[in-house]
Structure formats: C-alpha cells, structure tokens
Amino acid sequence: AYMTMAAFYFFTIIATFMLPPSHGGGTQRSVLGDIGGGFQYVAGHPRLRTLIPFFILLIMFGLPYVTIMPGFVKTDLGKGEAGIGLMLAAQAAGGLLASLAVAGLADSPSALKIYSGAGLLFGASLLATSASPNLLAALGAMFVAGIGSGAFQTLNSAVVIRESDPRFFGRVMSLTMTAFAGFALMGLPIGFLADAIGERATLACMGGAIIAVVIVFTLLLSRIPVTPPALPSAEAAG
C-alpha cells in the first residue's frame, strides 16, 4: 500500500514538471516577501482574518481522528484490520459524494451557511462515532463524517476565494494549506490524549471541539460586513 501511494506521488511530480511554464505579469518577489504580503493582506481583511483560522482549527481538531482510528476499532469495537479499512472506506465514500454534491454550490449565496453546517455535521458525526456500540453503527457515523468533512473542505476554497482579491488568490490559499501541516502536528498530542483517556473519549472531545469552533467563528463572521478593505499600495500581483 505504501509503495502504491509513493508511486502515485511520483507520477504526480512528473506530471507537474510537464506543465507549461507560467508567465506572470507581476514583479519578481522573494518567497519570504510573498509570504509577508499574504499575511499583510489577510490581516487587513476582517473576514479572511476569521475564515482562515476557522478552517485551520477545524482541520487541526478534526482530521487527526485517523491517528486513533486503529485503536478505536480494535479496542472499543473489537475488530481487526478489516474493520479499520471499512471505517476509512466509509469516510472516504462520504467525502467523495459530498464533494461531488456541493461543488455546484460554490457560487451559491448560501455557500457560507452550508460551509458552517458541514462543519457542525462533521463534529456531530465524530460524537456519534464515539458513542457507537458496534462496527455497523460506527460505519454509518463515519460515512456522515466523510460527508461533513468533504463538504467543508470542498467549499473552503470557494468561500475564501470569494473574499479575496484575484491578485492574492495564491497567497491566501497557501495560508489555508497550513491547516494540513497543523493536522500532521496534532497527531502526536491526540495520540497521547487517547492513551490517557481512551479513544472513545478522545473522539468525543474532538467532536465537541469542532462544534465549538464552528459556533464561535460562525458568530464572528455574522458580525463582519462583506466589505473588503483597500489593497496595500505596496503589494505586487501574485
């Protein structure tokens, strides 16, 4: 399985090198200058300043469930490797269906509401997973978790891009991708927490944390008008 994944990554890298070179019209800048420009732009835009931490925190608190899923399936559900595979497959199936279903809603006026609703669904489904008495119930909860997380991640780009100036699309989206670095870093403390209080309780804590994040940031966004600030005059396109 690891070799197959490595092969996919290898072919992806090869395909990237086959892309035609881009011809940007902006002034050449350093990498650090671009990163600083992205932070400066986001800091001056209240809605982006709220949306990006919203996404990062939800991903950091939610996606590390995969690190404790083997222990949950074996210890709490009494199943082996096949059960772990079924749980992850159920989540993946829900995520795929949700991504296909909400892709056409990216430009909808209700996109932000659906985005927040998907986050709530993700948190609630992790709570349901933690309370599942058997594998069948857990599979249903994980399928719903896939729907919630898939819809949330799919709509994130649309919601963030809608608030951004086209000249800053790349830099703004790169900041949202730090969520996945945070997700990887959270694996260790989540694992320690599971060792201390058990996988069920850890899943419940993660679900509760997600719901709290969604409620807090949705309320914050509701108080911020949709009025992007003026662009920093010193910023170059990119």
All structural domains of the chain with their residue ranges:
31-222
Distance CA(165)–CA(37), nearest Å, equals: 13
Report the mean per-residue pLDDT for the chain.
86
Which of 107, 111, 228, 227 minimizes the C-alpha distance to 168?
Answer: 228
Burial group, residue 59, by CB count within 10 angstroms (0-12, 13-18, 19+)? buried
Instruction: State the average pLDDT over residues 11-28.
Output: 74
pLDDT at residue 2 tops 80: no
pLDDT at residue 29 tops 80: no
CA atoms within 13 A on the CB side of 179: 21
pTM (2 d.p.):
0.83
pLDDT at residue 122 tops 70: yes
pLDDT at residue 230 tops 50: no
Instruction: State the average pLDDT over residues 143-161.
Output: 91
- Judged by average pLDDT, the poorest of 87-96, 116-125, 223-232 is 223-232
What values do phi and psi take at 52, rounded to 5? Answer: -65, -50
Which of 173, 154, 153 minimizes the C-alpha distance to 163?
Answer: 173
Instruction: State the average pLDDT over residues 106-122.
Output: 89
pLDDT at residue 215 tops 90: yes
Distance CA(191)–CA(177), nearest Å, equals: 23
Give pLDDT tens digits for 89-111: 999 999 999 988 887 887 787 88
At the top level of CATH, the class of 31-222 is mainly alpha
pLDDT at residue 167 tops 60: yes
Q: Confidence band (pLDDT; 50, 70, 90) for 228?
A: low
pLDDT of residue 71: 93
